[in-house]
Chains A and B, each alone.
Chain A
Amino acid sequence: MTATRDLGPLIPRNRDAHPPAYDPDYKTSVFRSPHLPLISMESTPSEETGPRFGHARLGPLDNNLILNWTKGAAPAVGERILMHGRVLDENARPVPDTLIEIWQANAGGRYRHIKDTYFAPLDPNFGGCGRTITDENGCYEFLTIRPGAYPWPNRGNEWRPMHVHVSVFGHSFGQRLITQMYFEGDPLIARCPIANTVKDRGQLDRLVAPLDLGRARPMDFLAYKFDIVLRGRRQTMFENKLEGM
């Protein structure tokens, strides 16, 4: 039927590298975490395939959050930054041609969302979402403004660190990942119950983007580097069966 080479099942998730579903310091997780264990089994073609997105549907400003809300008419207010990095899989291979979506608050910590009632003002020139597709080496970049910290109702005096939400597709639906990028040196990271749902300190550090002066553009923008690793495929010389066989 199809001559596609079977790339092998997805490598099972190492759940210790991820947050547990239930973490009482992040109160909403108490009601929204399954009590029963996940059913574990090897991936099937349904998880090993996934949607692919062509460049044709993207507009030229889609990865420029400084300009995309006003379609280039006026720039957003705030600290101008380049956010860039690579998408790799667990076998350290680049993941080319995959869609990355980001969303964030404005420089004052206010989201452009019907449900956000924080009294920091909206920036009339800032929307807060962007998207791009990785190149043949798995590289991506966004131009944006650094988001502000903002308060949220959890414990009495809770503030999210500055962060950008990141959604990545990979090439398989089972690789689907949403995470958050934090900024080097932000003292709120260590105090944040959402950041600290990641129990392994080394893993939490991987969500913190370092300042990257080498990619900053003088007199224009600073840069932060954020690399992303997705699940890989488990392949051996004993497993080269055809897809669907």
Chain B
Amino acid sequence: MVQKLDTLTETPSQTAGPYVHIGTAPTYAGLGGIYEHEIGQTTYQDGAEGEVIEITGTVTDGTGWVLRDAVIEVWQADASGRFAGQEGADPKVTGWARVCADPESGEWRLGTIKPGPVPMRGGGWQAPHIVLWIVARGINTGLQSRIYFEDEANGDDPVLARIEQRPRVDTLIAKKTGDGRYRFDIRLQGAGETVFFDM
């Protein structure tokens, strides 16, 4: 016999299901007013430093069908690359929000502040990015991904550098469609499948 480890195992994930909005976006589900303050409405308040941008997209399944019931959570740094709670972070940027696909079209829309580059442990910088966590019916464990920006210097990003098949990097780059406007479509499966991380 050997000594016993005193570590625990993580609780297993389960799908968020089709009614995830009841718990995470009650107004969307038809439960408006149950909470005085509903969280996750926006990543920033008026007066936040930096460029206000809008990102739109869809989430499609392996048949090309657009998901109407997906929920995407985003987490990002402020315009100078600091996360909420860190010293010097912009107090008007929470950096976190929830985005629900439109129940008719499946389009989602995120209005936010364009994040700055974020330092890596041990030196180096990550290009500006938004971390995603995608849950829905049929997704057993929330999927981690990232949004990068077409008009930023992504060449030295250490996370993108880890993707061996270079054409796949493109699935993480939001395309500029106008002034401060970007398009980012997520493909869960099949041709053009978005890169998902285990980080």
Contact = CB atoms under 8 A, between A and B. Distances in A.
Given A34-B143, A41-B159, A207 B22 contact: no
Contacts of A244: 119
Nearest to B126: A44
Interface in A166-204: 167, 173-174, 176-180, 194-195, 197-198, 200, 203-204
Contacts, number: 277
Interface of B: 6-24, 26, 29-31, 34-37, 39, 61-63, 65, 67, 69, 73, 75-77, 82-88, 94-96, 103, 118-123, 126, 129, 131, 133, 135-144, 146, 158-159, 162-163, 188-190, 193-199
Interface residues of A, number: 95
Given A20-B140, A47-B131, A174-B144, A39 B196 contact: yes
B176 to A, nearest CB: 22
B189 A35 contact: yes
Contacts of A228: 11
A114 B75 CA distance: 28
B140 A23 contact: yes
A48 B85 CA distance: 12
Contacts of A66: none
A179 B6 contact: no
A230 interface: yes
Nearest to B162: A41
- Main secondary structure, interface of B, reads loop
B198 A127 contact: no
A143 to B, nearest CB: 15
B158 to A, nearest CB: 8
Interface of A: 1-4, 6, 9-10, 12-15, 17-21, 23, 26, 28-36, 38-47, 49-53, 57-59, 62, 68-69, 88-92, 99, 101-103, 111-116, 127-131, 165, 167, 173-174, 176-180, 194-195, 197-198, 200, 203-204, 206-207, 228-232, 241, 243-245
